[in-house]
Amino acid sequence: MKLIVATHNHGKVEEIREMFAGLEFEPKSLKDVGFTDEIVEDGNTYFSNSLKKARTIHAKYPGSIVLADDSGLEVFYLDNRPGIHSARYAGPKPIQSDMVNKLLLELNGVPDEKRGARFVCVMVMLLPDGMVFTSRGECYGMIGNFPRGNNGFGFDPVFLPVEFQYRFSMAELPTEIKNQVSHRSRALSGVKSMLAELNTK
């Protein structure tokens, strides 16, 4: 059965492919299936954005499983901004350096003890019969003072997870280690359990 991941982001699909290794479901991106419609993420929660994406894609590919997520970085000093607006934080189609530089500028001069943050991911899996399954994952850490590493996307180069005592950024971690602690992997673990059950039917 086809598993469509509601993203054009190659990094996200690769992360999911790593997580689902061993299952019969091969994740496909929107590019892989030829989906080009723009989906406006105008919800006020991660869940509402995820569900809208999943339903829009499911309407075009009703026999498929659709996996959609909405993720965001919540910086406590910035009152949890950028949050659900993370993808558009530095404009409609920002490059990674724009996002990172804007965040570092907003936190310029803020001491380490006030740079706490968390990544949040809310994932929705929509089955062919219309059943909705949802899972949430969080990863806590702090925002570093400069970008580090190349193995990541979004805000990964400046996010230092607590699991490693803030010594490494997400973008410095090998994929297999990152997949143990990331917000997306924690949300995916619940989805993976559901897929494993489907895999046996």
Domains recognised in the chain with CATH numbers = 3-199 (3.90.950.10)
Task: Catalogue the active-site residues.
Answer: 70
Identify residue 16 by its one-letter amino acid code: I
Q: Which helix (H) or strand (E) holds 10?
A: helix 10-19
pLDDT digits (tens, 9 = 90+) for 131-170: 999 999 999 999 999 999 998 888 999 999 999 999 999 9
Both tokens of 131, joined, read: 């059943």
In this predicted structure, what is the pLDDT of residue 41? 85
Q: Sort residue 22 into left (φ over 0), alpha (ψ -120 to 50) or beta.
A: left
Residue 200 has pLDDT above 70, yes or no: no
Indicate the SS3 state at residue 29: coil
pLDDT at 89: 87
The DSSP symbol for 8 reads -
- The terminus-to-terminus CA distance of the chain in angstroms comes to 12
What is the pLDDT, as a whole number, of residue 201?
59
Q: Could you tell me where the DSSP H helices lie in 61-199? A: 96-106, 175-181, 183-199
